[in-house]
Structure 1
Amino acid sequence: MRESNRLAEIWPPDSEDAVWPDSTFDGIIIARCLAFIADLAVILVLLIAASLVFGILGILSFGLLWPGAALTPLLVIAYFTFTLGGRYSATPGMRWQGIELRAWNGNRPGYLQAFLQTLLFYVTVTVGTVLVLLVPFFNKRRRCLHDYLCGTVFIRSGI
């Protein structure tokens, strides 16, 4: 019974007594966009390096290791999972923009929640195209669809 009372205290997260003041979300949309572009640049460098490594290994192994190049998309998932679930709860692009990912209880997300955040981002954008990215324009916490689905929010760092 105590557990259900505790849940009632923190749910729903969009209530007026939520963890963060509204100013925490000022400029979050543009910061997320710029951070994602910066992260794409980092990922591009990583993918080019991985492709070169697998290309060289493929030549040295007479083609036996070329199928390993099919694993390079996992690099993208690993990049976001380990940076969002890590010490700073932010990718390098997000740190540059001064934002970080938090769970609704205010804690930093673990690796499982960071993986879920990453996976849901790519699934919702693939299925719903750009329309799912319009969601933050219609809520005061500026949360995207995948943020709602995995119980996370992006905030300004240091809050």
Structure 2
Amino acid sequence: MTTLFDRLVALLEDEAARFRVIEHSAEGRSDLVAAVRGTAPGQGAKAMLCKSKDDDCTLVLAILPGDKKLDFKRVAAAAGIKKAKLASPEEAQRETGCVIGAIPPFSFSPTIKLIVDPELVESFDEIAFNAGQLDRSMILDSVDYVRIAKPLLHSLCV
């Protein structure tokens, strides 16, 4: 069975992306995993699965710098919905195949809209993220990330 990590590696290799993998102890908090990776907290791509408060069909994977807080009004505006809220941990795992904290900043589902705060990719030459597992991270060139993931760029932070 192909894991999400394997899919990420294959995608990045196929696209000739500049990236590296770091194996580390399982860590769920942005600040702690940044220290383990040797990256700045703001370099971490925090992935938060959100959904519409009005219908459970609209899903948004909001990606923001690891040291910032999500503004749900901005998520709703970017996604074209009235109100956004966080998906439950169970919904996030069902929709992404990952536990909270391990969701990478890529959408492999046509039903999940990928929206990235531009501050993440404009402030750092590389982004860091958990690659489908809490104990494995990737450091990826920011330009390559935007080229490959093709996210909608929209301000999402408080």
TM-score range for the pair, normalised by the shorter chain length: under 0.3
- Rg larger for: 1
Structure in which a larger fraction of residues adopt helix: 1
State TM-score, norm by structure 2.
0.24
